[in-house]
Amino acid sequence: MTEHTESAALRVALAYHRAWTSGDVDAAMAYVADDGFVCRAPGGDLSGKEAFRDYLHGFVQVNTGLTDIAAFGDQEHALLFYCPHTATTTTAPAAEHFTIRGGRIAESTLVFDRLSFAPPQ
Amino acid sequence: MTEHTESAALRVALAYHRAWTSGDVDAAMAYVADDGFVCRAPGGDLSGKEAFRDYLHGFVQVNTGLTDIAAFGDQEHALLFYCPHTATTTTAPAAEHFTIRGGRIAESTLVFDRLSFAPPQ
């Protein structure tokens, strides 16, 4: 990460981020709240841990690398900005905003441009 | 903003953000470097201040409101996360990462999901 503020919430978000970007979905999911989790993702919400696990698993299959750009956090929130690499792009950014409660990710909001990650036509 | 770290870079980014989201493109552009500015936006880079002014002006015409979610910064960078409102959506997020040099925005990287902002089919 080129930018980094220390916070308990950021530590949880980064642990999650490092787990899934290294391909370990199970380790990543250990940082996600068991109950009531929702991820607001482009195109629709993912409600519940199992729906999110499937979504993350799908992306991990096509993720080939990572460029981390920024990571910030305060007591209850974290915000990451990075470029996940796929066969289509290595320069399209994604941002994730996390709300952390009790050491787990209770909510996340994810943004990326779906068209930038679509296979070339 | 619900989250906020104090930094000189963040102050510049927020001044820019408040200007354009209130519709004042000229005031916003005063925070953008005169030379060498580039904005990496979904679909392509905008090189130079004039190209960016046109892009921002176009979005301001359809922007109807704003939900700020997070704002963080360190000495040279800032990161904003917010939902710009349009006739199509008030809940699709955007994130902007800024590099600040000499009190001006030297580079920015913008991410939003173009499909979420497209008019309904």
Residue B31 predicted with pLDDT over 80: yes
CA distance B101 to A110: 28
Give A112's pLDDT tier (boundaries 50, 70, 90). Answer: very high
Cβ-Cβ contacts under 8 Å for A7 (sequence gap 6 or more): A73, A74, A75, A78
Residue B5 predicted with pLDDT over 80: no
A69, A74, A113 member nearest B97 (Cβ) = A69
Residue A1 predicted with pLDDT over 60: no
Give residue limits of the domains in chain B.
2-113
Cα four-point dihedral sign B117, B15, B65, A110? positive
Listed in sequence order, the DSSP H helices in chain A are: 8-21, 25-29, 49-62, 114-117
Give the per-residue pLDDT at A2.
44
CATH for the A2-113 domain, from 3.10.450.50, 3.90.245.10, 3.40.30.10, 3.40.50.620:
3.10.450.50
DSSP H or E stretch at residue B59: helix B49-62
Burial letters B73-94, b for 16+ CB under 10 A, else e? bbeebbbbbbbbbbeebeebbb
Contact at CB, B81 and A94, closer than 8 angstroms: no
For A73-80, what is the mean pLDDT? 96
Residue B1 predicted with pLDDT over 60: no
The CA-atom distances, in angstroms, between A18 and each of A21, A51, A69, B103 are 5, 20, 14, 33
Chosen from A40, A72, A90 to mutate, greatest number of chain B CBs within 10 A: A72
Report residue B65 CA to chain centroid gap: 14
Q: What is the pLDDT of residues A95-111, one digit of tens each?
A: 999 999 999 999 999 99
Alpha carbon distance, N-terminus to C-terminus of chain B = 33
> Are B72 and B5 within 8 A, CB to CB?
yes
Complex-level ipTM: 0.94
Strand pairing category for A38-41 and A104-112? parallel
Contact at CB, B93 and A116, closer than 8 angstroms: no
Phi, psi of B33, deg, nearest 5: -60, 140
| CB contact B91 to A (< 8 Å) | yes
B42, B73, B95 member nearest A81 (Cβ) = B95
A3, A111, A115 member nearest B95 (Cβ) = A111
CA distance B50 to chain A (A): 23
Give the per-residue pLDDT at B2.
43
| CB contact B98 to A (< 8 Å) | no
Residue A5 predicted with pLDDT over 70: no
Supply the pTM of this predicted model. Answer: 0.94
Contact at CB, B91 and A2, closer than 8 angstroms: no
Q: What is the pLDDT of residues B41-98, one digit of tens each?
A: 999 999 999 999 999 999 999 999 999 999 999 999 999 999 999 999 999 999 999 9
Nearest CA in chain B to A5: B74
Which residues in B5-117 belong to E strands, given as ranges?
38-41, 44-47, 65-73, 77-85, 94-101, 104-112
Nearest CA in chain B to A77: B3
